[in-house]
Structure 1
Amino acid sequence: MKWVMLIVLLWSPALQAETLVATRLIRATEVIGSGDVMLHEAHVPGAATRAEQVVGLEARVAIYPGRPVRLSDLGPAAVVERNETVRMVYRQGTLTILSEGRALERAGLGDSLNVMNLASRQTVQGIVNSTGLVEVFGSSDPFGRGQ
């Protein structure tokens, strides 16, 4: 009788986990859509279990068809591309400085990235904000002038 209970518990639908798998090759930097994933009956640690967790995110690595979609392989979609000209802003108190720079890497909202100031050719670090500006931080001379 104990064996029957154990078998029933093991086959219970509530105990069987589902994992999202890719339905097609998802290349790195592609944004995942709802048709790109489907549920598969298996438990894979670190893999997504609901489409809402991954739709709209960007693949950081190639994900092959039938493979689990791991949350660690995804990130926010990039809004700044490498070598793209971006507007930088530095704020300290009431002082605001705007300048143009060239992004040295791809970045999504809230991501940190290095930007080369086009006027001074100095590299500064900043964070992409919701308006697409790169907020420069952490320097008494934020745009590398006077060096």
Structure 2
Amino acid sequence: MRGLVLLLMLLPQGTLAGSVVANRTLPAGTVIAAGDVSLVPDQPGGIEEIAAVLGQQLRVMVYQGRRIDPSTLTAPTLVGRNQIVTIAYEKAALRIEAEGRALSAGSAGQVIRVMNNASRVTVSGRVAPDGTVIVRQN
């Protein structure tokens, strides 16, 4: 019997992976910073690295001590609805810029509609990482 117990103790044991949990109650829309989350080793499931959640935006409220699921995260919103943005048309060495109003919110890489303030024409463009909306010719 002792031999069986010894054999079981020497077999590799499954380790429980940790989970990223909220250090405080985080409202929806919060962009996660390093002080907002910590890694707790006793909670399996969820995201296992803090670096994976830093800079992401929460879609729902997460209460203190609760783990953060991947489904609750999204890319941070760079352009808000009704925000004044720069519309840029680029082709080769040509770049034309105008001021416009975003008709919807968007994060980097998303296509949103923007109304040109001068001509009142609505165009669609892709949100750049700096918050400008790039319009390309079809």
Q: TM-score range by the shorter chain?
A: 0.7 to 0.9
CA RMSD, Structure 1 to Structure 2 (Å):
2.6
SS in structure 2 of the partner of residue 87 of structure 1: strand
Question: 1:2 and 1:76, CA in 2 relative to 1: closer, same or farther beyond 3 A?
Answer: same
1:120 paired to 2:123: no
1:5 paired to 2:16: no
Match of 2:36 in 1: 36
How much identity, in percent, do the aligned residues show? Answer: 34
Question: 1:86 and 1:33, CA in 2 relative to 1: closer, same or farther beyond 3 A?
Answer: same
Cα deviations by residue, 1:47-92 (Å, 9 ceiling, x for unpaired): 2211111122221222222222122322333222221100111123
- Can you give the 5+ residue segments of structure 1 that lack an aligned partner in the other structure? 140-147
Is residue 91–residue 136 contact of structure 2 (8 Å, CA) maintained in 1? no
The CA distance in 1 between the partners of 2:64 and 2:79, in whole Å, is 28
SS in structure 2 of the partner of residue 35 of structure 1: helix
Structure 1 residue identity aligned to 2:49: R
The CA distance in 1 between the partners of 2:106 and 2:67, in whole Å, is 24
Match of 2:22 in 1: 22
- Normalising by structure 1, we get a TM-score of 0.74
Q: Which moved more, 1:90-99 or 1:21-30?
A: 90-99
Aligned length: 134
**Deviation at 1:9?**
4.1
- Normalising by structure 2, we get a TM-score of 0.78
Structure 2 residue identity aligned to 1:42: Q
Question: 1:7 and 1:107, CA in 2 relative to 1: closer, same or farther beyond 3 A?
Answer: farther
Match of 1:58 in 2: 57
- Can you give the 5+ residue segments of structure 2 that lack an aligned partner in the other structure? none
